Chains A and B, each alone.
Chain A
Amino acid sequence: MSEQIDNLIQKEYAAGFVTEIESDTLPPGLDEDVIRFISGRKNEPEWMLAWRLEAYRAWLKMVEPKWAHVSYPDIDFNAISYFSAPKSAADRPKSLDEIDPELKETYDKLGIPLHEQEMLAGVAVDAVFDSVSVATTFREKLKEAGVIFCSISEAIQEHPDLVRKYLGSVVPRKDNYYAALNSAVFSDGSFVYIPKGVSCPMELSTYFRINEAKTGQFERTLIVADEGSQVSYLEGCTAPMRDENQLHAAVVELVALDNATIKYSTVQNWYPGDAEGRGGIYNFVTKRGVAHTNAHISWTQVETGSAITMKYPSCILRGDNSVGEFYSVALSNNRQQADTGTKMVHLGKNTRSTIISKGISAGHGSNTYRGLVRMNPGATGARNYTQCDSLLIGDKCGAHTFPYIESKNPTAVVEHEATTSKVSDEQLFLCQQRGIDAEKAVSMIVNGFCKEVFRELPMEFAVEAGKLLEVSLEGSVG
Chain B
Amino acid sequence: MLTIKGLKAVAGDTEILQGIDLTIGPGEVHAIMGTNGSGKSTLGHVLAGRDGYAVTAGDVDFLGKNLLDLDPEDRAREGLFLAFQYPVEIPGVSNMEFLKAAADAHAEYRGDEAPDAVSFMKKARELCTVADIDPSFLKRGVNEGFSGGEKKRNELLQMMLLEPRLAILDETDSGLDIDALKVVAAGVNEMRAADRSFIVITHYQRLLNYIEPDFVHVLSRGRIVKSGDKSLALELEEKGYGWVDQEVA
Which residues of A does B touch, CB under 8 Å? 1, 4, 421, 424-427, 429-438, 440, 444-445, 447-449, 451
Chain B stretch 88-115: residues in CB contact (< 8 A) with chain A? 88-94, 97-98, 101-102, 105-106, 109
Chain B, residue nearest A451 (CB): B92
* Closest-CB distance, A320 to chain B (whole angstroms): 36
Q: Is the CB of B88 within 8 A of A432?
A: no
Q: Is the CB of A448 within 8 A of B91?
A: yes
* Chain A residue contacts of B71, Cβ below 8 A: 432, 437
Judge whether B26 is part of the interface by a CB distance below 8 angstroms: no
Which residues of B does A touch, CB under 8 Å? 48-52, 71-73, 76-77, 81-82, 84, 87-94, 97-98, 101-102, 105-106, 109, 141-142, 158, 162
Q: A1 and B51 in contact (CB under 8 A), knowing A426-B88, A433-B72?
A: yes
* Chain A residue contacts of B101, Cβ below 8 A: 431, 434, 436, 440, 444
Partner of A430, one of B51, B88, B91, B94: B88
* Closest-CB distance, A360 to chain B (whole angstroms): 12
* Closest-CB distance, B1 to chain A (whole angstroms): 18
Q: Is the CB of B105 within 8 A of A437?
A: yes
Q: Is the CB of B92 within 8 A of A445?
A: yes
Q: Roughly how many angstroms separate A434 CA and B72 CA in the complex, as a whole number?
A: 9
Total A-B contacts with CB atoms under 8 angstroms apart: 80
* Closest-CB distance, B123 to chain A (whole angstroms): 16
Chain A, residue nearest B51 (CB): A1
Pull 23 A–B residue pairs with CB atoms less than 8 Å apart, ordered by A: A1-B51, A4-B51, A425-B51, A425-B52, A427-B88, A430-B87, A431-B90, A431-B101, A432-B49, A432-B73, A432-B76, A433-B82, A434-B101, A436-B73, A438-B73, A444-B97, A444-B101, A447-B93, A448-B92, A448-B93, A448-B141, A449-B91, A451-B92
Q: Is the CB of A433 within 8 A of B48?
A: yes
* Chain B residue contacts of A421, Cβ below 8 A: 91
Q: Roughly how many angstroms separate A433 CA and B101 CA in the complex, as a whole number?
A: 12
Q: Is the CB of B90 within 8 A of A435?
A: no
Q: Roughly how many angstroms separate A77 CA and B81 CA in the complex, as a whole number?
A: 60
Q: Is the CB of B97 within 8 A of A435?
A: no
Q: Is the CB of B51 within 8 A of A424?
A: no
Q: Is the CB of A445 within 8 A of B93?
A: yes
Chain B, residue nearest A444 (CB): B93
Chain A, residue nearest B102 (CB): A434
Q: A429 and B50 in contact (CB under 8 A), knowing A435-B106, A435-B162?
A: yes
Q: Is the CB of A435 within 8 A of B51?
A: no
Partner of B90, one of A425, A430, A451: A430
Q: A449 and B92 in contact (CB under 8 A), knowing A432-B76, A435-B77, A435-B162?
A: yes
* Chain B residue contacts of A444, Cβ below 8 A: 93, 97-98, 101
Q: Is the CB of B72 within 8 A of A429?
A: yes
